[in-house]
Every structure is written in structure tokens, then in C-alpha cells.
Structure 1
């Protein structure tokens, strides 16, 4: 099998890149190792910069038909009260909120749009596990399906297969690890109409927790010390119920819904970045290039920005059938690496100065974030950093003008 571009990984970065290339007329094949996109507790915070991209792709109306919740601000709930960090309604532009959309709905929207183009091909249950080489150049992927082992040849190979990327490993690209003090236990509890409306961080000694309003239920994330999931399980489900009830008393009458640790999904937090994102014929983007901490909920948006920059910079050469020089792959890295580095630096500051002391419990005081809403300039700067980012991308190759 041959294609102009083969992409390993049907997450947000891979799907958006495949859509933009197909729209521009490039033959592209997307490999997804699962049989569907229905996996819970994945990144699904769509920030204003990504909402603007969706608009540029002509999909804003269809996107807003998906089940979603809008968050217009960022706040922290402490034992002393609520601290407002950013008011997104003060942002310039059309989109002044963060949209919480289940990732499978978002991916199904993108893939459904991509299927409209004859140059798009999707292979499900296709797990990329190796690369095809000709000399020092990568010429495609090896992948397995229920039917056996296969190979696909391509002028350009993209590794968008996440923080545990097999493509990255096969290309001998090793990330620099920055570490994280926590892992995350995700679970859900029912929500009733009388509950509060906002999404917030509950900051308390030893037990930070995030609560995301999903309309009919709360998506909850308990932060615990790194590699401490077995210790959390050893304390028993009753201990977890008590923790939730103490941190969020309005949920106390519902914690019995946690029947056991089978209801818990554990996320191992990684924070790393490749020094080099490419080999001749191959480029890594998204989490394969820079795994992000859940701080700010920004990972999915940086991954999509990578995809847009890749389409803009590489799409024209792929369309003309020209070889992709490694210097062009390096341009993608130069454009996107700065944004990833700045966000990761900010995440490390939050991890070290707020999350780490909070996880330490009473042994260290918890620094309470200042209420920057009282200083509009700071509030606006934080809102722009979280929701727009350092270098937002705009769709040029395969934009809405190419829709049939």
C-alpha cells in the first residue's frame, strides 16, 4: 500500500492533520489502533484558539451541535473561599469560553468531515508498531491488524500516536523528561440541577481535586502523589468516598455511587519534550513530541495547533509530489517547540509551587493563588495565555474554501 502521507494515531492531532491534508488534495492514510473512538476521560477541553480553527475549517455550526458545556472563567476553591483566576468573557474575538466536549464526539465530527474527501483513507484496528526505512530515510509504517502484519509506504510519516508513541520509539527519538509530582484518578458522580454550574479546582491539604460540570454528571479528578495509585487503592474505596464528601459536601449524598476501583480510571502524568521531533521522512507531533501535564487542560489544543502548522508548512510540497526535505520538518519543530516549551515551563511552576505543596498535606503550607480578577491586566493576560496560547495557528492549507 502506498500513500503520500501516513499518520499513526487517530487522536485530535492526527485527525485534524488528516482532514486538512485531504481537503487540500493530498492522499493521506490515518491509522487508529482501536475499533472506535469511545474512550472515557480523554482530553476534551476545547479552548478559544481551537474554536477559532474549527470556525476556519467551516465546522463551527456542526461542532456546537455536539453535547457540550461552556466555561467562561477559571477559579480555585480553597478552604478560605473562591479565588478567580481568569474571566474569559473579557477576551477579544468571537469565542470567549472553553468548550467541554467528549473527545469521541469531536473525533467523530472531524473524521466524518474527512470522509467526504476521496484522498482520505482511515484504517481502524490498525496499530503502528514500526517504521519502514530506505537507507537513513523513513518511508512508511509497519502495522498490525486482526488480519496480520502489514506495511504502508509514504513520502511523509507522522507520529501522532501519543505519549507512549511506538513510532517515536522505533525512530530512536527519546524525550527529555521533566517529571510531575502527581498522577490522577478520574471518576464520575451524578449531577443534579441544584448543583453549582462552574468547573473548578478544589485545593486542600493533601487532596487537590478538579470538578468538571458535564451537565448530567460531574467528571472528577483526584490528584495523588506520583506512583501512588496502589497506596490509594490500599486505603479502600470508603476512604475515597470520605475524601470526596469532605472536599465537596454537596456530593456527599452521591459518593455511594463509587462501588469500587473498577469505577476509577488512572492517568499517569508525564511531562516531557523531544529535543528533535524529526528524522528524514518522519515528524512527531502532539503528545508524541511533547507530553503535557493536565495543568491548564491545554494539551489537546497544542496538539491540534501542531497539526495545523504541519499542514500549512508541508501540505503544498506533498500536493506537488515533491520530496520533503528534513529542513522543512525542522521548520515545523521551530515553529511549535517554543509554544510547547513556554506552556510546559508554566505547568512546572504550578506543579512545583502549588500542587506539590498541596500533595504534601499539612507538612507544607499551600500557596494560595492570588485573586488576579482584582487586577484586570493580570487577569486578561492569564486568560489569554490559557485560552489562546503563545502562538495560535490559523488554517491556510485545506481551509473552509476547499469544502465541496
Structure 2
């Protein structure tokens, strides 16, 4: 069987938000780009569907905010902190962001399709679905592309720069022998979805209880996405005890869960997501760069993972473009992405680790002081300061006009 060979300036592995935006920007700047996506299409279930104000700030800079907001979505304008059924505090996005006083809940299939449609207008952009990377190609010490298994058989994609944008379980990271600097596993979120009560509005809630913590998010168009925070390994114990004790906990936790819990017969409606953050020690090798969750996975705490990944993608576009123009795709040149992004990533990871300790802890002392901590956070300037630090960009990025759609 003959093997198809494709040659491009850049091969991006992973068609999530970071990979799609990087591919779009490089094609906008005149480079030949291909994005390889292992799935058959965008129509599947995702967890990272909250787009924080910092994401919308960035889209405003590159001229895509109005375009993206024209697609189906809902706005999250406020939030509340609960201890059991008692409201301990509240916050509004307008309290720390006057220009963008909301987060956007956009189903990721809609977001990715919108990005694809925009990118597909550019002559240098192409994309292959059902393309699973099996090997990395090499030219001496330089990573020079990938071998992927496609719908019609294997394909060699030769590229001057190969980008791993393929998420927390990155094949490029594994095949390239990239090493972790650190990894934290705070606990697990057990996700399920229920209809949104009419009175709920656009409010997200963080609820600490004597049992577990809950993250409750309005989900477009008319549901709530609920994450039950359980310590590491506890989900296995819960399942061993059978559905009835967990069903009773959900019945007592929130009236919005009642109809769902009453119908529960087993654990099939639940999806486990490990709450991990990690940082790869060095994101670049000669001819290859990791971005997004492949390089710096954020935990779901604060729902900033997509925003951080896309910020790295935008900055990577500039570095890769300059590297291609200079004919220098060495690790030292591509390292500039990490040099620009690592400080913020580390800072936000530290904030997430602290927040996770309260949400995921099983320590009785922390459970006892949780309502006090929630009240203090809501009534002082602490919460807005943390939100401003994590959910907003401190300064606009220096984005060259070659990458904008204005």
C-alpha cells in the first residue's frame, strides 16, 4: 500500500480550541498549515465549555469576538457561594470586569465549528479528521512531522514545525519523550447534567457541604452541569457501596437534583474527570512545540483551561511565524513561547491548588471552617482580586496585525 505524503510549514496535532486558533492565525499570516484531529467530527461531549472574560478579551484583540458571540451561547453573569443550603456570599462578573461583565457558555462543538468555518476560508489552512498520530518523523535530531493513521490508511505529514495541541493525554508529548516538571491530582469531579430550574437564571454556584463540594454551572441551552468534588480514590469506594447512598446524598444536596436522583438506578449517568494540573519541564524540541493542555494542563477549578490554552496558542503563532521566517525552528527559538507564558501558568496553578484544597478536602477541620472562609471571601476584596487575577488578562497581548481579522 502506498503511503500518502503531505508537506506543510506547520502540522498541528489536535483540533481543540488552541489547535484551531493557532492554525487559523498562521494561515491568516500566509503559512501552509494542516490540523490533524483524531475524532471523526466536532460533535461529542466536552467538559471545558466556559469561556471566561480573558478569552473574550483575546478574541476582541484578534477581531473574532463579535463573530463568535453571534453563535448560540448563554452568558454567566453572576455566582454564589453556598454552605449546604445557606447562601454565604455572591459575586458578579461586573465587579471585576466592566468591559466584559460575563463569561460565555458555548457548547464546544459550536465553538470549534465556528473556528473551522472561519479558518477554512483561508487558502493556507487544511484539516484532516480521523487522523490518529502513531509516530513522529525525524530529520536528524529535528522532529520533522508525524505519521498518522487516517480513514484511507497511513499518511506522512512532513512539516518544518510540529505542534502538539492534543490535550492532557497528548500523543506528541508521549512520542516526543517530553518530561513533566510537576503534576498535582487534587481529586475527581463527577459530572452529571440536570434540567435547569426556571428561577435559576445565569448564576453559577459553588456549594460546600458536610458531604461533598459541588460546582453547578448553567449549561446552554437549558440545563445545569454539576460536578461533585470527591477526594482521590473515593469514587471507587462510592461505587462499591452501591447507588442508594449516593442517590440519597444528591436528594438532600439541592432541590434541582431531586428529579434526576429519584430516577437513578446505577452510575451510568456520571462521568469522572480527574482534577489535575501539570507543567511540562520544557515545551520545545527542535522542530516541535507543545501548547495548551499538552504543555500546561489546568484543573477545572476556575474554568480557565480553555482561556489559558488559547492565550498560549496566540503567542505561539507569533513565535512560530518568526521562526519560519528566520529559517530557525530550533528548540531554543521555540522556547520563547514558554518564556512568555510560564510565569502566569505557574501562578494560576498555585491559585487552583489552594482552591482545590477546600473543595476536595475530606478533613473535618477544613469542613468546619469552610462557611467562615466562604463568607470572608465574598465580603472582602479577596474574591474579586483572585477572580481578576485568574479570569482577566492583566494587559493586552502584543498581537501583530498579520494575525487579526479586523
TM-score by length of 1: 0.91
Give the aligned partner of residue 98 of structure 1.
Answer: 103
Q: Is 2:243 the partner of 1:247?
A: no
Give the aligned partner of residue 268 of structure 1.
Answer: 274
Question: Quick one: which of 270, 274, 293 aligns to 2:299?
Answer: 293
- Tell me the alpha carbon deviations over residues 210-249 of structure 1, each in whole angstroms, 9 at most, x when there is no partner: 1111241111111112133332222333333322221112
RMSD (Å), alpha carbons = 2.3
Q: Is 2:200 the partner of 1:176?
A: no
TM-superposed CA distance for 1:61, in Å, is 2.5
Distance change >3 Å, CA 85–CA 196, structure 1 → 2 = closer
Q: Gaps (5+ residues) in structure 1?
A: none
Instruction: Give yes or no for contact 1:86–1:382 (8 Å, CA) kept in 2.
Output: no
How do 1:292-311 and structure 2 match up within 5 A?
292-311=298-317
TM-superposed CA distance for 1:363, in Å, is 8.8
Give the aligned partner of residue 51 of structure 1.
Answer: 56
- Tell me the alpha carbon deviations over residues 6-43 of structure 1, each in whole angstroms, 9 at most, x when there is no partner: 00111111011011111111111000000111222320
Instruction: Give yes or no for contact 1:7–1:14 (8 Å, CA) kept in 2.
Output: yes
Instruction: Give yes or no for contact 2:51–2:104 (8 Å, CA) kept in 1.
Output: yes
Distance change >3 Å, CA 373–CA 356, structure 1 → 2 = closer
Give the aligned partner of residue 393 of structure 1.
Answer: 397
TM-score by length of 2: 0.91
TM-superposed CA distance for 1:301, in Å, is 0.6
Instruction: Give yes or no for contact 2:77–2:202 (8 Å, CA) kept in 1.
Output: no
Give the aligned partner of residue 232 of structure 1.
Answer: 238
Question: Quick one: which of 190, 194, 207 aligns to 1:189?
Answer: 194
Give the aligned partner of residue 71 of structure 2.
Answer: 66
Question: Quick one: which of 341, 348, 355 aligns to 1:343?
Answer: 348
Distance change >3 Å, CA 220–CA 153, structure 1 → 2 = same
- Tell me the alpha carbon deviations over residues 344-391 of structure 1, each in whole angstroms, 9 at most, x when there is no partner: 111111223x1343x34689534333444433x434422311311466
Give the aligned partner of residue 381 of structure 1.
Answer: 385
Q: Is 2:200 the partner of 1:220?
A: no
Q: Gaps (5+ residues) in structure 2?
A: 1-5
How do 1:347-358 and structure 2 match up within 5 A?
347-352=352-357, 354-357=358-361
Give the aligned partner of residue 23 of structure 2.
Answer: 18
How do 1:75-94 and structure 2 match up within 5 A?
75-79=80-84, 81-84=86-89, 86-92=91-97, 94=99
How do 1:115-154 and structure 2 match up within 5 A?
115-154=120-159
